[in-house]
Amino acid sequence: MRRWRRSARHGPRRCSSPWVGQRLAKWIPTSYRRNFPRKRGFGRTDRQNHAPRGVSAPRVSRRHAARVDWSRRAQLDGPAATVSMRRRAFLHATALSAFAYRRVTGANDRIGIALIGCGGRGRGVTAYAPRLGGAEVRGVSDVYLPRREQAADQFGPTARGYRDYRDVLEDNDIDAVVIATPDHWHAPMTMQAVDAGKHVYVEKPVTHHLGEGEDLVAAVESSGRTVATGTQQRSWKHFLEAKRLVDDGALGKVTFVRCHWSQNYTDLRGRFSEGIDESQLDWKQWLGSAPEQPFDPVRYRFWRFFWDFGGGSVTDLMTHWIDVVQWYMKSPEPQEVHAAGATYTQDWMEAPDTVTASMLYPERYMAAFEGNMTFGLLGGGIVFRGDKGMMVLNRLGYAVYEEGAKPFEAVSLPEPTHRFSRSEDTSALERVDGNGTLDNVRNWLECIRTGTTPNAHIRAGVEAAATSHWVNKALREKKVLTLA
């Protein structure tokens, strides 16, 4: 049996295994050796721990610093195999130069990505990665076979299909995952993914209930993995420009922010809930931690509007806007929440189709949200009101109007002092201002390579989701909530 032995001359321990000793011939501090787990189930193959060429090795927490590589036992020595350290931890512990690190990773110069949850949104997000270059889709996972096959066809022969997402996390060729599942899977999958050494892009809201946030932040920040959230406004050029205007005082003291978002779901129920083959769906796996219940095609297709899986228009839509508000105003959470909701037309939804909410912040301003699932005119947007001006902001652009430029209580607006309208005459790849998701994925991939923090980082994602959960709590309990 190969053992860790102490050098009489140098003191630190080294491994006599030819895999470690001959290929890398580096010293491993005793502190890492002491923390090797002694039970099965923690191992990763050394191939998984390769970072793509040019990707800096992220910091490694003590929990991840050294794991038993049980999957290589037969290859090394059969039943008498020694343990091996995860490659990233080994590089961290021995401080290999960037040149040596590139030599170890060999020809693997692309970030291998897998999609978990192969609906339209997930396929759309994931499709940007290979188009941006330096990344390749190597896996697709969904519990519904037709969607899995659809995604595999879209991404080509490199994208292997997986029914169980846990097999994706065990795949050595996968460096990062896109999680686009129902909300109740977001936090558990993200935590399992970073624990498996994967980088993550997870759709919003990143949590399904308030109790998940603290554990999620702790798991991500201790893992050293790069995790970006699907609040893409944080990477969108004109949202960044608009924030600079607010920071520079163009609006003066902002005391009121109004958010609104309307979508017409009247005709969608029948259109999208038909044709689901239950025999090709692993319904039990799809339910996950949700209460056991019989298959329902409406719940499966419109899970956002059922409490077991989503949070209605508040978590689906308001989360985007309240993230922008809290980002611009530098205020992570409200101190008081009021909310009301009712269903008037979409009686098949569990969550209300019409919602209003108001949130008071300790930074001395108020934000309000109006959501409706019956009509779609005007879509969604945000209006910031300050004592010097007003900003109208949405996904098409922004405009700033000077306060006092029109007579008292005028119902028309003056010419804007600042204005941006999104260009529509060039491709999405050519205009960085044209698609926030593209920009967000680009930022995520860059941060994987550089080890920096994404624009849409996990802490901001948890804070935005938490405000939405507080609104839903106030709405469902029919009371005003005061946060400590």
Q: What is the pLDDT of residues 447-473, one digit of tens each?
A: 999 999 999 999 999 999 999 999 999
Alpha helices in 57-212 (DSSP H): 62-65, 73-76, 87-94, 98-105, 120-132, 145-155, 165-170, 186-195
Asked if 235 and 456 count as a contact pair (C-beta separation under 8 A), the reply is yes
Regarding predicted confidence, which is higher, 385 or 91? 385
For 172, other C-beta atoms within 10 Å of its C-beta total 14
Coil vs helix vs strand at 158: coil
Q: What is the pLDDT of residues 371-430, one digit of tens each?
A: 999 999 999 999 999 999 999 999 999 999 999 999 988 899 999 999 998 765 544 444
Residue 96 pLDDT class (50, 70, 90 cuts): very low
Q: Which domains does the chain have, with CATH numbers?
A: 4-105 (no CATH), 111-232 (3.40.50.720), 234-427+459-482 (3.30.360.10)
pLDDT at 357: 98
434 contact partners, CB below 8 Å, separation of at least 6: 422, 423, 424, 426, 428
122: nearest Cα among 144, 140, 146 = 140
Q: What is the pLDDT of residues 26-64, one digit of tens each?
A: 333 333 333 333 333 323 333 333 344 344 444 434 333
461 contact partners, CB below 8 Å, separation of at least 6: 202, 204, 205, 206, 229, 231, 323
Rounded CA-CA distance 420/242 in Å is 9
pLDDT at 435: 79
CA angle, residues 374, 375, 376, in degrees to nearest 5: 135
Q: What is the pLDDT of residues 277-334, one digit of tens each?
A: 999 999 999 999 999 999 999 999 999 999 999 999 999 999 999 999 999 999 999 9
pTM listed for this prediction: 0.78
The residue assigned the tokens 């949405």 is: 394
Reply yes or no on whether the pLDDT at 68 is more than 50: no
pLDDT at 82: 30
Residue 267 pLDDT class (50, 70, 90 cuts): confident
Rounded CA-CA distance 291/284 in Å is 10
Reply yes or no on whether the pLDDT at 477 is more than 60: yes
pLDDT at 194: 98
Rounded CA-CA distance 347/364 in Å is 38
Tokens read off for 128 = 């940007």
Reply yes or no on whether the pLDDT at 74 is more than 90: no
Average pLDDT, stretch 133-141?
97
Reply yes or no on whether the pLDDT at 173 is more than 60: yes
